[in-house]
Amino acid sequence: MGVGRFVYTPILPLMHAQAGLSASAGANLATANYAGYLIGAVAGGLAPALVRSPLLLRTALVVLAASLAAMPLTHSVTVWIVLRLLAGVMSALIFVIAASSLLGHLRDHPAHLPGWAFGGVGAGIALSGLLVLVLRSLAGWQAAWWSAAALAGLLAAASWNLRPEPAPAAAPSIPAHRRATSATATATPETAPSPAPKARTHRWFGALFVSYSLEGVGYIVAGTFLVAAIEQTSPGWMGNGAWVLVGLAAVPSAALWARLGRRWSRPGLLCVALVVQAVGIALPGLVGGAAPALVSAVLFGGTFIGISTLALATGAHLRFPRSVALLTAGYSVGQILGPLVVTPLLRNGYHEALLLAALVVLAAAAAAGLLRVGFPHHPGRVARPRGRRE
């Protein structure tokens, strides 16, 4: 999934230079992929049986690799949009099935294991970035897509026998949205909180929803255009090198932030992670050169998966109905809007787009900061008139 969804980022500069792809068309391809991801995520949420289908998992793996292999066969932007839309749908289905599988099978195992599994997305980013880095001096954009398809095929073969989440027992019947919330809580287990006053829970969840949706807008701008932005002011290898570093930093990030979330306030950590990410996104827009690019890669890669882990765990902590589904939908819509919002700024390069994205992520941090006002950090204390509040 990391290869299929994110290899477009390091290949994008090659398509600009060699395939005649314009900046606005590049943004449209990105938007199509994120729209496809939303479609796949919604389909997985509405039809739980899909999440337990080995046939669907294998079909998605094959179609995702095939969509990458088909990209070099045409110069039609319309066909490229369809292929990236299809890749988005397949990526979401793979992610939903894999996440449900690991959370279902690892319920009785140490909580850091799901975090490391989510780091596989970072490994896919690093591998695809390294592949394009090697190929850029030896071949063109078409070879990069074909090589990415081959890499995706190898990884698909390695994951071919992944067992989806088993079907739930006939009794008691648990609604799908409760299963999703329970799965997220399993990743960062804790004692279930007592129900909070409804108005306060809505206020906290509203701030979380706004924060996570804004994060979707800001993070995806960097996730799409970071390599192209770095290559405008740095040596040609630096952009792809930074993308490899993004992936390597992402590998341990989910496990690390999940572990920190058991010791410190999740809203506080979420705010810190968003500020750190905003700094990482803004650096290439403010300062050129190798050092800022590499620092940016580490800060961005080390936070974007961790932010998702913290946000979803916070929603589960609040026990807000269908929190995972709602947060994922807001995040996905933000990803669709991100490239569209910055498209008017791309005439002068990507740096203004990165600065705007950094401001959006700072706004997300401000919304996360509101969560600390009376937030039930300690389970069971919300509904009591007495007791310390942080």
Q: How far apart are CA 196 and CA 45, in angstroms?
A: 26
pLDDT of residue 212 exceeding 90, the answer is yes
| Residue 37, token pair as written in the block | 């991801």
Among 28-37, 94-103, 146-155, 232-241, the range scoring the smallest mean pLDDT is: 232-241
Q: Tell me what pLDDT residue 72 has.
A: 95
If you average pLDDT over every residue of the chain, what do you get?
81
Q: Tell me what pLDDT residue 238 has.
A: 79
- Contact between residue 218 and residue 357 where contact means Cβ atoms under 8 Å apart: yes
The mean pLDDT value for 326-338 works out to 86
Burial 107-117 (b: 16+ CB within 10 A, else e): eeeebbebbbb
pLDDT of residue 315 exceeding 70, the answer is yes
Asked whether residue 281 is domain-assigned, the answer is yes
Chain segment 244-274, per-residue pLDDT in tens: 999 999 999 888 887 887 778 888 899 999 9
Which domain does 273 fall in, by range?
2-370
Among 15-24, 52-61, 188-197, 230-239, the range scoring the smallest mean pLDDT is: 188-197
Asked whether residue 50 is domain-assigned, the answer is yes
pLDDT-derived band of residue 377, with 50, 70 and 90 as boundaries?
low
How is 164-231 classified by DSSP, letter by letter? Answer: PPPPPPSSS---HHHHHHHHHHHHS--PPPPPPPHHHHHHHHHHHHHHHHHHHHHHHHHHHHHHHHHH
Asked whether residue 317 is domain-assigned, the answer is yes
Among 123-137, 255-269, 287-301, 367-381, the range scoring the smallest mean pLDDT is: 367-381
- Write the single-letter amino acid at 187: A
| Helix residue spans in 106-119 (DSSP H) | 112-118
Q: Tell me what pLDDT residue 374 has.
A: 61
Q: How far apart are CA 226 and CA 176, in angstroms?
A: 37
Count of CB atoms within 10 A of residue 344's CB?
Answer: 11
Asked whether residue 390 is domain-assigned, the answer is no
Q: Tell me what pLDDT residue 63 has.
A: 97
Q: Tell me what pLDDT residue 59 has.
A: 94
By CB atoms closer than 10 A (0-12, 13-18, 19+), residue 306 is buried
Among 98-112, 135-149, 288-302, 362-376, the range scoring the smallest mean pLDDT is: 98-112
For residues 232 and 358, the model is more confident at 358
Q: How far apart are CA 125 and CA 320, in angstroms?
A: 33
For residues 175 and 206, the model is more confident at 206
- Contact between residue 328 and residue 46 where contact means Cβ atoms under 8 Å apart: no
Question: CA angle at residue 331 from 155 to 14, to 5 degrees?
Answer: 50
Q: Tell me what pLDDT residue 176 has.
A: 45
- Percent of the chain past pLDDT 90, that is, above it, reads 35
The mean pLDDT value for 180-189 works out to 40
pLDDT of residue 192 exceeding 70, the answer is no
Asked whether residue 375 is domain-assigned, the answer is no
Q: Tell me what pLDDT residue 151 has.
A: 95
Burial 172-184 (b: 16+ CB within 10 A, else e): eeeeebebbbebb
The mean pLDDT value for 33-52 works out to 83
- Contact between residue 214 and residue 364 where contact means Cβ atoms under 8 Å apart: yes
Q: How far apart are CA 205 and CA 47, in angstroms?
A: 25
Asked whether residue 383 is domain-assigned, the answer is no
Phi-psi region of 348 (alpha: psi -120 to 50; beta: other; left: phi over 0): alpha
- Percent of the chain past pLDDT 70, that is, above it, reads 84
| Residue 264, token pair as written in the block | 């410190």
Non-local CB neighbours of 217 within 8 Å, separated by 6+ positions: 334, 335, 337, 338, 341, 357, 360
Tokens 């609604």 -> residue: 175
Q: Tell me what pLDDT residue 116 has.
A: 84
The mean pLDDT value for 209-214 works out to 94
The mean pLDDT value for 7-35 works out to 89
Among 33-37, 49-53, 145-149, 186-190, the range scoring the smallest mean pLDDT is: 186-190
Q: How far apart are CA 239 and CA 242, in angstroms?
A: 5
| Residue 150, token pair as written in the block | 């081959």
Asked whether residue 380 is domain-assigned, the answer is no
By CB atoms closer than 10 A (0-12, 13-18, 19+), residue 155 is buried
Q: How many domains does the chain have?
A: 1
Q: How far is CA 2 from the centre of its chain?
A: 9
Q: Tell me what pLDDT residue 111 has.
A: 61
Count of CB atoms within 10 A of residue 197's CB?
Answer: 10
Does this model's pTM top 0.85? My answer is: no
The mean pLDDT value for 43-71 works out to 88
Q: Tell me what pLDDT residue 167 has.
A: 63
| Nearest one of 355, 328, 335 to 44, comparing CA atoms | 328
Here the CATH number for the domain that contains residue 324 is 1.20.1250.20
Chain segment 63-122, per-residue pLDDT in tens: 999 999 999 999 999 999 999 999 999 998 888 888 777 767 776 776 667 778 888 899
pLDDT of residue 171 exceeding 70, the answer is no
- Contact between residue 102 and residue 117 where contact means Cβ atoms under 8 Å apart: yes
Q: Tell me what pLDDT residue 177 has.
A: 43
Asked whether residue 210 is domain-assigned, the answer is yes
pLDDT-derived band of residue 191, with 50, 70 and 90 as boundaries?
very low
Q: Tell me what pLDDT residue 379 has.
A: 47
Q: How far apart are CA 47 and CA 299, in angstroms?
A: 36
Q: How far apart are CA 83 and CA 64, in angstroms?
A: 9
By CB atoms closer than 10 A (0-12, 13-18, 19+), residue 288 is middle
pLDDT of residue 186 exceeding 60, the answer is no
pLDDT of residue 126 exceeding 70, the answer is yes
